[in-house]
Amino acid sequence: MTSSSSGTTSGWAVGFTAFAAMMMILIGFFQGAMGLVAVFNQDFYAVTPNYIFSFDVGTWGWIHLIWGIVVLIAGFSVLSGQTWARVVGTIIAIVSAIEAFAFIPYQPFWSIIVVTLSVLVIWALTTKVDIGEYDDVN
């Protein structure tokens, strides 16, 4: 994604990184909202019997709420161009996808959206680019 002659970063690569940051912010919001609903209204989610990851809905709510805040902060860090945030963001997106996958029996629609967005974030963050290096020459 970088120009071989000048070493500058392309607009596409920067766009993908900005996309990843925005999606992480969105995922953090979704996770937090799912967590708040589970904490305040435990009857909202359907409980599946004999599910291997069967926690109390309130426990799932706190997991989602705390994890949503972590993803949200990481998304803002990626958006600000922090180098460490790309690696941390990738790890967070992987954990977020796994956590949302485990929550599918409780809320399939939103969980699948979070898994899909997490995969897109992983893809976008693992492309080589540094937002701080972008220089629009046009």
The average pLDDT across 12-33 equals 82
The fraction of the chain above a pLDDT of 90, given in percent, is 8
> What is the distance between the alpha carbons of residues 67 and 43, in angstroms, rounded to a whole number?
21
Model pLDDT, residue 2: 43
pLDDT of residue 24: 85
**Contact (Cβ atoms closer than 8 angstroms) between residue 38 and residue 44:** yes
Compute how many other C-beta atoms are within 10 angstroms of the C-beta atom of residue 5: 6
Residues 6+ apart with CB under 8 A from 52: none
Q: Which amino acid is at 54?
A: S
What's the confidence (pLDDT) of residue 44? 76
Structure tokens at 51: 């599910």
Site of tokens 């898994």: 115
Quick count: other Cβ atoms within 10 Å of Cβ 50? Answer: 5
Model-wide pTM > 0.85: no
Dihedral sign, Cα of residue 77, residue 126, residue 98, residue 30: positive
Residue 82, pLDDT score: 79
- Using the structure block, give the residue that is written with the tokens 């893809």: 123
